[in-house]
Structure 1
Amino acid sequence: MKRRHTLVLPQKLADELRAHLFPGDGLEAAALLLCTVTGKRRSKWLGREVICVPHAECTRWCDFITWPGDYVEAAIDRASARGDAVIAVHSHPDGLFAFSSADDESDRVLMDAIRHGTGRCPGSAIMIASGAIRARIYEDDRATPVDLVMKAGADIETWWNDGATGSGPLKPAMAFTGEMRASLSRLSVCVIGVSGTGSIVAEQLARLGVGEIILIDFDEIEERNLNRILNATLADIGALKVEMFADAIRRYRSDGEVISVSGSVATREAVLAASEADILFSSVDSAEGRHIADRLSAYFAMPLFDVGVAIPTEPLPGGGRRIAEVYGRVDYVYPGGSSLMDRGVYDAALLEAEYLARMAPHALARKVAEGYLRGMAEEAPGVITLNMRAASACVIELIARLFPFREFANETRARTIFMLAEGDEDVFAESEFRNRPCFPMSDGTAEPLLGLPSLAVQRRVA
């Protein structure tokens, strides 16, 4: 999967930009987009802030615009203070989805000014009325197309430079077709946790044709895992889960790339590897793992799919226990929306409980006995039938948001919970969750990484 530049816009930012650029009068409008730039294997531009140029201060036509330099200077000042890059954006109300000769001429002056002011490569972009964006980055005075512009929201909208024409972007593929597979082959997806549920998620992604799959897991295969980890055999006992699974994918895929990271997601190496992906899947059974995934989603503007299963039991009057319910849960989180923490998937008490379980198990027992921490829900070992049901529901959410096929809005399915004993399914809309600004959006690799001191660069002391 070859790609040089990706621009990601959280839904709130993209909507703000569109509302300003298309006020309804049919004339061009302008704005400046401040971005964090991350990535080693390819650059990822994360939209962080929009500076709107007031319509009244511009000279506007239906196919041309001039605007005062004061706003460029303001953008340079704000970008320089944080190390951001600047992309100048304007609208094409006539629907031209390409850069005009007038745009080229304007960029010759504007891009040079932004480069000298910020010390970073600048960019320019156009938006048409549908909200689709086409962008380019100026490296050494030459424009390089941005391969992918992605809007990360309730729907995941992708606008590829390859395949776009002056009349518009490439139309989204139809779900469940060969065209969908071709489209997925352009994307990079990270799966955190490659065990009972995660292995099934990863298997689906690989067979659907996802172009690059990043696998993160620290654990080794044990004999007790063989009943639920796909592709694992007796010969794999003692092997790292990610290595086994990566090898399995390579045996039936010759057209994709698999990257395995054999370590905890709560390490700097794993976080940086995950941040290179376009989309994130969390299939972990710990609060810490979900906390890291939550922060990754916000800091790197990544859509996040989180899946979990549980089989709670209850005591019988005459002794013994019975199954109270069989649950599967899928949450979809996007940057700027409610987080997993907002939704109560985990909280500070669970994070502390896990820390104490590792570092001071006796202190944990005392705290639980005293009622200081609520008891951690005990998850039964995942059985493959339950895991498959949950993992399938999770990957279906990805397909529905990239290739819309539902007769209702994806906004109404921020969370899905199915209950097999009761035979019911509950769905929750994004609007039903409290949205607090838990984590900064599009901060990228700002130190400490993910805002966590434990992930900060370790400096040597002489």
Structure 2
Amino acid sequence: MSIERDLVFPGKLYERIRRHLITPDGNEAAAILFCRDAMPVRARLLVIDAVLIPHGLCADRRPDFISWPGEFLSDAIDRAEEEGLSLILIHSHPGGYFSFSKTDDESDKLAIGSIFGGWSGDVPNAGHGSAIMVGSGQIRARLYNADLKSRPIGRVIVAGDNIAIWRSGDPDAAPPMAFGSGMTERLKQLHACIVGVSGTGSIIAEQAARMGFGKLTLIDFDRVEHKNLNRILNSCHADADHGRRKVEMFADAVARFRPDISITVVPENIFSRDAVVAAAQADVLFSCVDSSEGRQIADLIARAFMIPLIDMGVTIPTRRLPSGGAAIVEVMGRIDYVQPLGATLADRGVYTPASLRAEYLARIDPEAFAAEQREGYIKGAPEEAPSVIALNMRAASAAMLECVARLFPYRHDGNGEYARTVFALADGDEEHRGEDAFEITDTRDVGRGAASPLLGLPALG
């Protein structure tokens, strides 16, 4: 039985392809997609590059027909075979016909047949395929095996400023209006992963479950303690008395009001292979951890499998008073939306080589680590059980609204200028920064998928 795969585009690459395929002259245009299979971790093809066939070199371009030079395909086969990639041949249907025509079927038999025929090594497990794009930018795609039998690609996903998801056979391409019943129904088809189910994470998980996400994956190795009860939703004294796993406690709570939801609990550290594989199944990834190492792993998962990532954090810096007491300098929260081929959390300075090294050294020196942890939320005024649930809710609400804005766009000025949101409650300020505000240092690992070692980390195998 064939596995149904998704086809995933980074938003920036998709826009480059769309501008090439949808042309002012109203004629068809073509491109070749290079795709990496994320199996065995995830059933999705990751579009890592594209060759845009120059319009002027096409032998014939009409509103319902295109013929382009074969040497482009020959060169693409050489590269794909060397790198173990699948090829998908995509062209536009300017007239809006959102299906494969008989001409497309006949052309595929020749073009896809020539790919398999010219392949000298092992054929990719996913095979090769074809796709069409209509004027709205919506894409329909299919894959072929070596016998030239086709099967539809289940979903086409674009992870960019907006997150577009087009399901095979679903004629309604436009997302429903945000905050309505249509959004709830659409969310039932989606899978969210929450890494860290504590202060902000429990609030994110609560929102995700009540808003309608069909699947949740909860990752956290820790247990409920009495000092957590003032900020972890659904936790109670019995959970702390028995040292229940946070993920198990929360999954039981959700089941009481959402019996239809599918929940996967991973009571492990995000550094484990099982946790990484579980997180890689999601459509959107929420990073609700307070360590640099945890954020780095979330960053790497999002890059490798082209999953949109939302990271959040809160802090309350203080200053010392002459009397020896402490006073609040600011009450702050930060939300970052990270897209494939965009600026990573590392690019944005959320974690740095220095902070990663410090945490590594802290593991070697437990006393130093304990001192660091005691600083916690309120810098300069250690608190064992800080009363920060209101601040956590403010940040977690903003983070979930960011997710809604990407899936069901509602902003009047679009999402491009909201790569980062920082709020400062003491000053009453809120600042937004776009993707252009950050320097992107390296994109080579984007779409690496399940390549060994997993995430490029030998410890994960």
What is the alpha-carbon distance in structure 2 between the residues aligned to residue 251 and residue 142 of structure 1?
A: 45
Please give the per-residue CA displacement for 1:203-242, whole angstroms capped at 9, x wherever unaligned: 1011111111111111111111111111112222211111
Q: How do residues 324-343 of structure 1 correspond to structure 2 at under 5 angstroms?
A: 324-343=329-348
Q: State the Cα deviation string for residues 405-462 of structure 1 (Å, max 9, x = none).
A: 111221111111111222221111221122221652111111221122222x2xxxxx
Cα–Cα, structure 1 residues 337 and 347, in superposed 2: closer, same or farther, change >3 Å? same
Percent identity, aligned pairs only? 49
1:413 aligned to 2:418? yes
> How far apart, in 1, do the equivalents of 2:25 and 2:373 lie?
59
Shift of 1:255: 2.5
- Structure 1 residue 286 and structure 2 residue 288: aligned? no
How does the TM-score come out when normalised to structure 1?
A: 0.91
Rounded to whole Å, the distance in 2 between the matches of 1:34 and 1:322 is: 56
Tell me the C-alpha RMSD between the 2 structures. 2.2
The 1:364–1:176 alpha-carbon spacing in structure 2 relative to 1, beyond 3 Å, is closer
Matched, 1:122 2:132: no
User: What amino acid is aligned across from residue 62 of structure 2 in structure 1?
Assistant: W
CA contact (8 A) 1:89 1:124 kept: yes
1:57-108, CA deviations, whole angstroms, 9 ceiling, x for partnerless residues? 3222210122233222222221122221111101111111111111111122
Runs of 5+ consecutive residues of structure 1 not aligned to the other structure: 369-373, 458-462
In 1, the alpha carbon distance for the partners of 2:295 and 2:142 equals 35
- Distance (Å, rounded) in 1 between the aligned partners of 2:387 and 2:199: 6
Contact 2:193 2:282 in 1 (8 A): yes
Q: Which of residues 224, 228, 246 is equivalent to 1:241?
A: 246
Helix, strand or coil at the partner of 2:416:
helix
Amino acid at match of 2:427: E
- 2:382 corresponds in structure 1 to none
- For 1:57 and 1:162, how far apart are their aligned partners in 2? 34
Deviation of 1:364 after TM superposition, in Å, equals 8.4
- The answer to whether residue 161 in structure 2 is matched with residue 154 in structure 1 is yes
Deviations, residues 154-185 of structure 1 (Å, cap 9, x unaligned): 11122222322xxxx43210000110011111
Q: Is the 8 A contact 1:196 1:382 kept in 2?
A: no
Residue pair 1:299, 1:439 contacting (<8 A) in 2 also: no
Give the letter aligned to residue 13 of structure 2: L
Within a 5 Å distance, the mapping from 1:69-80 to structure 2 comes to 69-80=70-81
Q: Aligned partner of 1:78: which letter?
A: R
Answer whether contact 2:13 2:49 (CA < 8 A) is retained: yes
- After superposition, the C-alpha distances for 1:232-279 in whole angstroms (9 at most, x for unaligned) are 122222111111112222222233211111111112111111111111
Contact 1:304 1:332 in 2 (8 A): yes
Alpha-carbon offset, residue 362 of structure 1: 7.3
The aligned length equals 443
Matched, 1:437 2:438: no
Aligned partner of 1:220 in structure 2 is 223
Query: What one-letter code is carried by the residue in structure 2 that aligns with 1:232?
Result: S
Contact 2:38-2:44 at 8 Å conserved across structures = yes
Distance 1:376 1:316 in 2: 20
- What pairs with 1:55-66 in structure 2 (closer than 5 Å)? 55-58=55-58, 59-66=60-67
Matched, 1:134 2:140: yes
Residue 254 of structure 1, aligned match among 252, 259, 281:
259
Checking the alignment, whether the CA contact within 8 Å between 2:138 and 2:173 is kept in structure 1 is no
Partner Cα separation in structure 2 for residue 61 and residue 225 of structure 1: 65
Whole-angstrom distance in 2 between the partners of 1:375 and 1:283: 16
User: In structure 2, the residue corresponding to 1:412 is in which secondary structure?
Assistant: coil
Which amino acid letter does the alignment assign opposite residue 143 of structure 2? I
Offset from partner CA, 1:3-30 (integer Å, 9 cap, x none) = 9321110012101211221232221111
Is 1:195 the counterpart of 2:195? The answer is: no
Q: Which moved more, 1:36-45 or 1:254-263?
A: 36-45
Structure 2 residue 348 is matched with structure 1 residue 347: no
* Residue 317 of structure 2 is aligned to residue 312 of structure 1: yes
Return the alpha-carbon distance in structure 2 between the equivalents of residues 377 and 45 of structure 1: 43
Q: 190-199 or 153-162, which moves further after superposition?
A: 153-162
- List alignment gaps of at least 5 residues for structure 2: 379-385
Residue 268 (str. 1) matches residue 269 (str. 2): no
Report the more deviating stretch, 429-438 or 122-131: 429-438
